[in-house]
Structure 1
Amino acid sequence: MFDVLMYLFENYVHSEVEVMMDHEQLTDELTRAGFRHEEIFKALAWLERLAALQENGEQPFLVNVPQQSIRIFTPEEMLRLDTQCRGFLLFLEQIQVLSGETREMTIDRLMDLEQQSISLEDLKWVVLMVLFNVPGQENAYAKMENLLFEEPGEHLH
């Protein structure tokens, strides 16, 4: 499923191609690209749930997340998000790429992936997808994009 999400993001969103397709057209194109129907439907459902999070505020945890809150991870989250991933999420909050709300949206979307453990690279892409889908997050998206694509060794410490 994650490969389908990456394909969609890179070919439609990240490349700034304006394409309005219905599910059938998109499914046909993804099938031609070599993806299985089951994975396509899961990826499209994942994207719909992401849109529902920001459009409807349907998740109660997204309401009034305090500015200086400390996130305590559940045992399941700790199993799937290693120390490096959890530390990176904290780092993104500290540099104001993620707010409490976008952090929770990111964690929600990460936990909905069908992977036993989430790599740091996968986490970065999910953050980018979340920020892209939340209105008013253009600066945070640009910062995250720079973090994702920067070459190792660009920063002096």
Structure 2
Amino acid sequence: MFDVLVYLYENYWRPDACPDHEQLWRKLSAVGFETDDIQEALSWLDGLSPTSIPSEALPIAPQAAQAHSVRVYLPQEQAALGEECIGFIHFLENTGGLTSDLRERVIDRALAAVGFEPGPLALDDLKIIILMVFWSLGQEPESLVLDELFVTPEDRLIH
């Protein structure tokens, strides 16, 4: 599924540039993606639209969350996301890379992705989810966030 999402991110500048599901399915199939991966990715994308997450389903409604709010993770969320992903989300939020609204969208889509793969979610998969959340809103993350999403720790240059 994540390979399909990366393909969409790299080949379509914005979600409105994507063809409808039927055409997209044919194109992804022609490129060589497996049917199961395409189905999972398209189902996951359906939940990515801004109106697909009812506010009452969120632990903290985005419009009610304050700039300095604290997110408490349920035991199921902790098991699905794992310490590394929760720490990364917390890091991005503390550095201003994620607002509380974006955090909740990331968590929602991460939990949906864990439904397709056994948890806890890998950090690299979470990074793809974060990119797709920004992509779905037609936004590009700040350069420092992009650096965190694309550069691995072992590839960083220490000055």
TM-score (norm 2): 0.80
CA distance in 1, matches of 2:52, 2:150: 31
Tell me, yes or no, if structure 1 residue 123 matches structure 2 residue 126. yes
CA distance in 2, matches of 1:131, 1:38: 25
Letter in 1 for 2:117: Q
State which drifts further: 82-91 or 59-68: 59-68
In structure 2, distance between residues paired with 1:88 and 1:119: 11
Residue 34 (structure 1) shift = 2.2
Partners of 1:155 and 1:104 in 2: how far apart? 33
* Unmatched tracts of structure 1, length 5 or more: none
Q: Which residue of 2 aligns with 1:149?
A: 150
In the alignment of these two chains, the number of paired residues is 150
Following the alignment from structure 1 to structure 2, what is the Cα–Cα distance between the partners of residues 147 and 38? 30
Distance 2:31 2:157 in 1: 35
Cα distance in 2 for partners of 1:57, 1:2 equals 21
Distance 1:43 1:56 in 2: 15
Percent of aligned pairs with the same amino acid: 35
Contact 2:93–2:103 (CA<8 Å) still a contact in 1?
Answer: yes
1:56 offset after TM fit, Å?
6.4
Counterpart position of 2:48: 50
The Cα shift of 1:42 comes to 2.5
Q: Alpha carbons of 1:56 and 1:24: their partners in 2 closer, same or farther (altered >3 Å)?
A: closer
Alpha-carbon displacement from aligned partner over 1:119-139 (angstroms, at most 9, x marks no partner): 11111111111122225x54x
Q: Is contact 1:106-1:130 (8 Å) kept? A: yes
Stretches of structure 2 that go unaligned for 5 or more consecutive residues are none
Identify which of structures 1 and 2 has the higher relative contact order when contacts are C-alpha pairs closer than 8 Å and 6+ apart: 2
1:57–1:109 Cα change, 3 Å? closer
* Residue matched to 1:21: 19
User: For residues 21 and 124 of structure 1, do their structure 2 counterparts lie closer, same or farther at Cα, with a shift above 3 Å needed?
Assistant: same
Contact residue 132 and residue 141 of structure 1 kept, 8 A:
no
**Tell me, what secondary structure is at the counterpart of 2:67?**
coil
Partner amino acid, structure 2, of 1:11: N
The CA distance in 2 between the partners of 1:122 and 1:30, in whole Å, is 20
Task: Quote the residue 2:80 is aligned against.
Answer: 80
1:30 deviates by 0.9
